[in-house]
Amino acid sequence: MHVAVLGTGIMGSGMTRSMLRSGLDVTVWNRSSGRAAPLAADGAHVAATAAEAVAGADVVVTTLWDGNSVADVMADALPAAPEGIIWVQSSTVALHDAGDLLPALADGCDARYIDAPVLGTRQPAEEGRLTVLAAAPEPLRDAVTPVFGAIAARTVWVSEQPGDGTRLKLAANSWVAMLVAATAQSIALTEGLGLDPRMFLDMMKGGPVDAAYLHVKGEAIIAGQFATSFAVDGAVKDTGLIAAAMRESGVDAALMEAVCRQYRTASDAGHGGEDMAAIYHAFRS
């Protein structure tokens, strides 16, 4: 199977390496060519343009920033793709993009569209342990099993309706964004009250509201180590999408809007490229 990956940031690069380890033939492209070039050492073909990347591909996977960037890239790429190419859209985008704009673009170019955002960050992407949240008609599912099997430990088929994968992804990301923000807030408060913040993590360990992610992010915050698994700027974008989805669906978005402001505060303070745990700086400032 020949797969084209468009977008080789943290997630796209990790997913590409997982596909290559599984024996898939992968061509990559990125707007900033320097981010795609290192994947040649892992066995990927590096294309000069998105159109070149998809020519001859069986499947194209998009792992780009947002709906607008996905639409712009695919408007150029799809006319060069084989008729009937399967398009796996894994970027986190707005509800309208996932359910209306991008499927319409696929239909206009004779592509078969799968709404398939993923859960996970750098390490799960590198290790092929993501969770795929997919929505597509039943007949398409077997065709992408080699791709999903390479990048994910689990595939959740949400429905046959494009956009439903993104709906579940935004719900999941709302929990992740809140959990990281709550961890940062609790550590900042523990410090502000004059206590060792590690006492907070030790107290939580093994209790009914404990979570592994609490300790991963909590230890990083205490150590002041914010190597990026998922960036603050990505959290700003995603929490904005979540708040918009909440408003559209009649759910009160006040809490998510407040969390979004805290991520934005951390970004404005110069931490946008650091891991999302750097929201801690918003509480300390």
Residue-wise pLDDT tens digits, 182-214: 999 999 999 999 999 999 999 999 999 999 999
If we measure between CA atoms, which residue out of 107, 112, 109, 111 comes closest to residue 135?
A: 112
Same fold, 2-161 and 167-284: no
Q: Is the pTM of this model over 0.95?
A: yes
CATH homologous superfamily of 167-284: N-(1-d-carboxylethyl)-l-norvaline Dehydrogenase; domain 2 (1.10.1040.10)
Q: Cα torsion for 110, 111, 114, 120, to the nearest 10°?
A: -160
Q: What is the residue extent of each domain of the chain? A: 2-161, 167-284
C-alpha dist (Å) from residue 224 to 184, 251, 280: 12, 35, 10
Tokens 């993923």 belong to which residue?
A: 118
Tokens representing residue 139 in the block: 């007949």
Tokens representing residue 184 in the block: 């940062």
Alpha-helix residue ranges (DSSP H) falling in 5-92:
10-21, 33-36, 50-54, 67-77
Mean pLDDT on 111-117 = 98
pLDDT attached to residue 285: 74
The helix, strand and coil proportions of the chain, stated in percent and rounded to the nearest 5, come to 60, 15, 25
Tell me the pLDDT tens digit for each residue of 209-231.
Answer: 999 999 999 999 999 999 999 99
Tell me the pLDDT tens digit for each residue of 126-181.
Answer: 999 999 999 999 999 999 999 999 999 999 999 999 999 999 999 999 999 999 99
Q: 164: which residues sit within 8 A by CB, 6+ positions away? A: 99, 115, 135, 158
CATH 3.30.559.10 fits 2-161, yes or no: no
Q: 258: which residues sit within 8 A by CB, 6+ positions away? A: none
Indicate the angle between helix axes 197-204 and 212-223, nearest 10 degrees: 170
Give the chain's count of helices (H) and strands (E).
Answer: 14, 9
pLDDT attached to residue 78: 98
